[in-house]
Copies of this chain bind each other. A is one copy, B any other.
Amino acid sequence: MNKYKDLKEMCYEANMDIPKRNLAIYTFGNVSSLDKASGIFAIKPSGVPYSDLKPEDMVLVDLDGKKIEGKMNPSSDTMTHAVLYKTWPEIRGIVHTHATYSVAWSQAVRSVPIYGTTHADHLATNIPITEIMSDEMIKGNYEEQTGYQIINAFSKANLNPIEVQMVLVACHGPFTWGKTAEKAVYNAAVLEELCKMAFLTESINSEVKLMKDSLINKHYQRKHGKNAYYGQ
C-alpha cells in the first residue's frame, strides 16, 4: 500500500503537532487524514504514546471504520471520525484532543461565548457544544453516536462545518477539523486558546457582553469573506 505513504506521513506529522502544541499528554488525542479519492483515511493507532509514534504506525481504515492496513488497532475514536467524513464531504482532516481549557468548557457544558476578535477571526458564532448524550446513544455504538451527536448539534443550530470547524462534546472534549489534517490541528490549538481567553475574560468581568455583530462580521469577513485580505 505504498500509494498511501504520503497520507500516512501527513497524518503522522499532524499527530506529532499535538504534543508540540501542548494539546495532550501521553496517548491522549488523535488525528486522522483523509484521501478523498479512495475514501480511505489514516489515523493514529490506539494506545501509542506520541514519543513512540512512527509514520508507518498510522492505520488505514475505510469510511465504515474497517481496517484496511496496519499492524495496530486504529484509535478507539475511529468511528467518530468516519461519521464526520461521511456526512461532511468537504473536510479532509479531523482532530480530537483532551486539551485542558477545551475540556473544562466541555465539562462545564457551556458553549464558548464570542468575546473578541481572536475568536471572530476564526468563526462568527459562539463555539457550539453538543447536548449530553442520551442513555440510548451511549449504549449503542458509542463512538459512532458521538459523531451523530456532533452532526445533530450542527443541524439544529444550522451551522456550516466549513464556517465553524470546531465543536465541544458535552462532558467529553473538543473535536476540530479542516481541509487538511494540519489545519485541523491548527483549529484545535486556536480553540484551546479561545477557551482560555473566554475563561479569563469572564473572571475579569463577570458581566461581560458578547462582541457586537458589526465587529464580528468585519473580522470574520476580512479573513474568510469574498474579499478576504487578512493574515496578521
Contact B28 A232 (CB under 8 A): yes
Check A232 against B197 for contact (C-beta < 8 Å): no
> For the complex, is A224 an interface residue (Cβ under 8 Å from B)?
no
Is A162's beta carbon under 8 Å from chain B?
no
Contact partners of A172 in chain B: CB under 8 A: 116-117
A104 touches B200 (CB 8 A): yes
Tier of interface size on chain A: 35 or more
Chain B residues near A105 (CB, 8 Å)?
Answer: 204
Asked if B171 contacts A215 (CB within 8 A), the reply is yes
> How many copies of this chain are found per oligomer?
4
Check A117–B232 contact: CB distance below 8 A.
Answer: no
Known contacts A171-B117, A231-B75, A232-B30; is-contact A222 B110 (Cβ 8 Å): no
Closest CB pairs A-B (n = 3): A47-B231, A46-B231, A104-B200
* Residue contacts A-B, CB under 8 angstroms, 27 given: A21-B25, A25-B189, A25-B190, A26-B186, A27-B231, A29-B232, A30-B232, A47-B232, A76-B229, A98-B118, A100-B193, A100-B196, A104-B200, A104-B203, A107-B116, A107-B198, A107-B201, A107-B208, A108-B204, A108-B205, A116-B171, A116-B173, A117-B173, A135-B214, A171-B215, A199-B200, A199-B203
